[in-house]
């Protein structure tokens, strides 16, 4: 009997090699998010507002004060009563001077107060005249060269935030301006979720670290930097396990080490079914694995599963959560691993942090290029805005050309089989929005 006939159709290797229907990215995302939503991170910590950038808020922040706390001036000039200035050219004595931070006296009728931006309005004043529309006279009095409108140049108490209102909502990622807003209501500390813990390793005996000589047959490990950077920018605490050799025992040991303290394990390379691709058998031994062929380009092979936590911890995470670390195996090609990390791992991380499932952030943009021969898979094309606000494509869209990724402002998300002609509107995923949504 020829050797091949000994392999039954149920043999995992055979079925792995057989052409399988490709799964849509949306379906893959639904599955990833569903699993991650079952092990949402619950541990909360207080951090200084200074250190909360990019963290996910674990409380609603409400204000116990009005902001601004009092009516104040938005101009350097003079505080006065409108009724005291019936006509331009009215001359009034100056009764006080109020710099920012000082609190003035009630304004004497028939006088003006010299006042500076941010200073509280003195009781009785109902308008500000900016200094450009007034003239300080030699005798100390002030000529007002305009007829003021009631309320002009006054910032009202509470016009930004009213006492008791919620200014930031639980579950949102903290931007620099959100930190400023929290500070504006007096918050020096914020309750945030602990960071997702993510272990990363690269597989491949051809990989050499920058700083080392490049021996024949080798290439530098770029994915390690790209993935680590993406995950750090997304607010993760990254445990970098470096390069794991293409050997089964080493891969299994790396998975066990990675599962110990992490919520998620992200790897690059080794998820095909070549005999040097050891992740599949290693995952089957240490946990469970689904190998998916995703209908996307770049990034077809994607592996998803979970690794059992070693018994040292009694099968549970330090916070008492699930006894497994989730696993995503990204393809090795540098652009593929970058794109799949953006469109698949980042949504999974959102779900792990209890954030609602959301479409990848996109905008409609004009194509200033032609794409006459689309792929049968959904494509993510590296593109950049030109000075006219249209999108241009990087000339070489190959999944090994990392230059395209460093050049791009984002990805054109092109549906399967859809040709693009110059002037068409396309769906664009801006990198700035993707990397921390
Ligand atoms: P693999 O998925 O392991 O078959 O790798 C696919 C391609 O990506 C091969 O050309 C690898 O050399 C390349 N590759 C794999 N890992 C990395 C990495 N960490 N950095 C750069 N290229 C890689
Ligand atoms: Mg490999």
Q: How far is the CA of 306 from the centre of ligand 2 (A)?
A: 20
Q: How far is the CA of 74 from the centre of ligand 1 (A)?
A: 58
Confidence of residue 437 (pLDDT cuts 50, 70, 90): confident
Residues 6+ apart with CB under 8 A from 336: 298, 299, 300, 330, 399
From 219, 230, 293, 332, give the residue whose CB has the most ligand 1 atoms within 8 Å, as the site to mutate: 332
Condensed to tens digits (0 to 9), the pLDDT of residues 222-242 reads 999 999 999 999 999 999 999
The confidence score (pLDDT) of residue 5 equals: 34
Rounded CA gap, 226 and 339, in Å?
Answer: 10
User: CB within 6 Å of ligand 1 — which residues?
Assistant: 202, 204, 206-207, 219, 221-224, 268-270, 272, 331-334
Confidence of residue 18 (pLDDT cuts 50, 70, 90): low
List C-alpha distances in Å: 373 to 296, 336, 401, 420, 426: 15, 20, 19, 8, 15
The confidence score (pLDDT) of residue 147 equals: 98
The confidence score (pLDDT) of residue 17 equals: 53
Q: What is the 3-state secondary structure (H, E, C) of the chain?
A: CCHHHHCCCCCHHHHHHCCCCCECHHHHHHHHHHHHHCCCCCCEEEEEHHHCCCCEECCCEECCCCECCCCEECCCEEEECHHHCCCCCEEEEEEEEECCCCCCCCCCCCCEEEECCCCECCCCCCEEEEHHHEEECCCCEEEECCCCCCCCCEECCCCCECCCCEEECCCCECCHHHHHHHHHCCCCEEEEECCCEEEEEEECCCEECCCCCCCCCCEECCHHHHHHHHHHHCCCEEEEEEEECCCHHHHHHHHHHHHHHCCEEEEECCCCCCCCCCHHHHHHHHEEEEEEEECEECCCEEEEEEEECCHHHCCCCCCCCCCEEEEEEECCCHHHHHHHHHHHHHHHHHHHCCCCCCCCCCEEEEECCCECCCCCCEEEEEEEECCCCEEEECCCCCCCCHHHHHHCCEEEEECCCCCECCCCEEEEEEHHHHCCC
Average pLDDT score, the chain: 93
Phi, psi of 194 (to 5 degrees): -65, 155
The confidence score (pLDDT) of residue 157 equals: 98
The confidence score (pLDDT) of residue 354 equals: 95
Condensed to tens digits (0 to 9), the pLDDT of residues 148-183 reads 999 999 999 999 999 999 999 999 999 999 999 999
Q: Which region among 174-178, 269-273, 278-282 has the lowest average model confidence (pLDDT)?
A: 269-273
From 220, 333, 339, give the residue whose CB has the most ligand 1 atoms within 8 Å, as the site to mutate: 333
The confidence score (pLDDT) of residue 311 equals: 67
pLDDT reading at 40 higher than 50: yes
Residue 64: CB atoms within 10 A of its CB come to: 9
10 Å CB burial of residue 336 (0-12, 13-18, 19+) is buried
Looking at residues 326-340, what average pLDDT do you find? 97
The confidence score (pLDDT) of residue 291 equals: 85
Condensed to tens digits (0 to 9), the pLDDT of residues 362-391 reads 999 999 999 999 999 999 999 999 999 999
Residue nearest to atom 6 of ligand 1 (CA): 332
Q: How far is the CA of 383 from the centre of ligand 1 (A)?
A: 23
Looking at residues 115-122, what average pLDDT do you find? 98
Ligand at minimal distance from the CA of 272 is 1
Given the CA of residue 336, which atom of ligand 1 is nearest to it?
Answer: 8
């Amino acid at each position: 009997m020829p050797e091949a006939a000994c392999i039954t159709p149920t043999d995992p290797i055979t079925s792995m090699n057989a052409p399988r229907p490709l799964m849509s990215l949306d379906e893959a995302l639904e599955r990833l998010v569903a699993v991650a939503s079952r092990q949402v991170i619950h541990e909360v910590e207080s951090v200084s507002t200074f250190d909360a950038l990019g963290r996910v808020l674990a409380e609603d922040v409400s204000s116990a004060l009005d902001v601004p706390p009092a009516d104040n001036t938005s101009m350097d000039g003079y505080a006065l009563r409108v009724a005291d200035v019936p006509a331009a050219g009215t001359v009034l004595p100056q009764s006080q001077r109020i710099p920012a931070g000082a609190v003035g006296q009630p304004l004497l009728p028939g006088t003006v107060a010299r006042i500076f931006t941010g200073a509280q309005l003195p009781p009785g004043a109902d308008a500000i005249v900016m200094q450009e529309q007034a003239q300080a006279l030699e005798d100390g009095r002030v000529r007002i060269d305009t007829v003021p409108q009631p309320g002009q140049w006054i910032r009202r108490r509470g016009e930004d935030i009213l006492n008791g209102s919620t200014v930031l909502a639980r579950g949102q990622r903290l931007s620099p301006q959100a930190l400023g807003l929290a500070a504006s209501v007096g918050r020096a500390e914020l309750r945030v979720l602990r960071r997702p813990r993510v272990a990363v390793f690269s597989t491949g005996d051809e990989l050499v670290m920058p700083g080392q000589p490049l021996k024949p047959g080798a290439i530098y490990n770029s994915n390690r930097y790209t993935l680590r950077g993406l995950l750090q920018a997304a607010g993760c605490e990254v445990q970098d396990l470096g390069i794991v050799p293409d050997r089964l025992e080493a891969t299994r040991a790396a998975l066990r080490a990675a599962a110990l303290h992490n919520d998620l394990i992200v790897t690059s390379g080794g998820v095909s079914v070549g005999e040097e691709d050891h992740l599949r058998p290693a995952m089957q031994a240490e946990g469970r694995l689904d190998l998916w062929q995703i209908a996307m380009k770049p990034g077809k092979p994607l592996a998803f599963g979970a690794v059992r936590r070693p018994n040292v911890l009694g099968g549970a995470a330090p916070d008492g959560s699930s006894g497994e670390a989730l696993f995503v195996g990204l393809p090795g090609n540098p652009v593929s691993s970058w794109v799949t990390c953006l469109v698949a791992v980042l949504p999974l991380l959102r779900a792990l942090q209890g954030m609602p499932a959301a479409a990848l952030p996109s905008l409609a943009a004009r194509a200033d290029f032609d794409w006459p021969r689309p792929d049968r898979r959904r494509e993510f094309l590296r593109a950049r805005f030109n000075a006219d606000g249209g999108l241009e494509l990087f000339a070489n869209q190959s999944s090994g050309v990392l230059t395209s990724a460093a050049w791009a402002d984002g990805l054109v998300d092109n549906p399967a089989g859809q040709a693009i002609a110059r002037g068409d509107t396309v769906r664009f995923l801006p990198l700035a929005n993707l990397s921390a949504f």
